[in-house]
Amino acid sequence: MGGDRPKQYLSLAGEALLARTLGRLYQALPDAHLALCLDDGDRWFRPEWVPFARWRRVTGGAERMDSVLGALRAVPAADGDTVLVHDVARPCVMPDDVRALADAAAKSADGALLAMPVADTMKRATPEGTCAHTEPRDGLWHALTPQGFRYGLLRRALEHSLAGGAAVTDEASAVEALGKRPRLVSGRRDNLKVTHPDDLALATAILAAQEA
């Protein structure tokens, strides 16, 4: 992002991005137990940004998989409990989508994830940056978050990936590696992930439109 602080602490519509995201999750599931993954040396975080009554700070890892697995090991949960994983860089997720995902994850033995069908034409690139060919978009979906699974399944999947040295970019990938098929739950297209500097302006506009 090129800012003077980690992107989760950049200002978004007058609040820290992290505070905005936690607020959305709280609107959806106010009774949930939150595990918030942060670096031990994080000097930007403020506990007053957390609206949840039950929450704990967990040391983040080098990769997303390490952070999530650390959180799973830290929370008191039974194998059958439903756990959701969300990117703090997605502050525009709507509470209705979070609740729909939580409900689907609780009912599906293989878990579920928010996703949306690919709408654009997809191109496969060559190493030189030219078009190799067009990929058929039928059946292709963009993976979003939250993603939800039974506690025991997700922990087993991540530990299996870690032991095998597999690099997984989301929780669903780790679960798929066990032969499972998480359910795709169609989510809103405005569930933006703030990744580039101009995404902040877009997220601000999305929040204003949602709140209106």
Establish if 82 belongs to a structural domain.
yes
Residue with tokens 């509470």: 95
Q: Are 112 and 101 in contact (CB under 8 A)?
A: yes
Residue 5's pLDDT is 87
Mean pLDDT, residues 78-98: 97
Establish if 70 belongs to a structural domain.
yes
Residue 170's pLDDT is 95
Establish if 2 belongs to a structural domain.
no
Establish if 66 belongs to a structural domain.
yes
Mean pLDDT, residues 93-105: 98
Residue 75's pLDDT is 92
Instruction: Report the residue count for the chain.
Output: 212
Establish if 1 belongs to a structural domain.
no
Structural domain of residue 54, as residue ranges? 7-211
Mean pLDDT, residues 136-157: 96
Residue 112 burial (10 A CB sphere; 0-12, 13-18, 19+):
buried
Q: For residue 115, give the nearest of 168, 60, 39, 170 by alpha carbon.
A: 170
Crossing angle of helices 151-164 and 64-74, rounded to 10°: 140
Tokens coding 195? 């990744």
| pLDDT exceeds 80 at position 89 | yes
Residue 4's pLDDT is 81
Q: Which residues pair with 33 in a beta bridge?
A: 54
pLDDT bucket at 166, cuts 50 / 70 / 90: confident
pLDDT bucket at 3, cuts 50 / 70 / 90: confident
| pLDDT exceeds 90 at position 155 | yes
At residue 118, φ and ψ (nearest 5 deg) are: -65, 130
Residue 165's pLDDT is 84
Q: Which amino acid is at 117?
A: P
CATH number at residue 108: 3.90.550.10
Higher pLDDT, 6 or 110: 110
Number of domains in the chain: 1
Mean pLDDT of the chain: 95
> pLDDT tens digit string along 49-69?
999 999 999 999 999 999 999
Q: Which amino acid is at 128?
A: E
Establish if 139 belongs to a structural domain.
yes
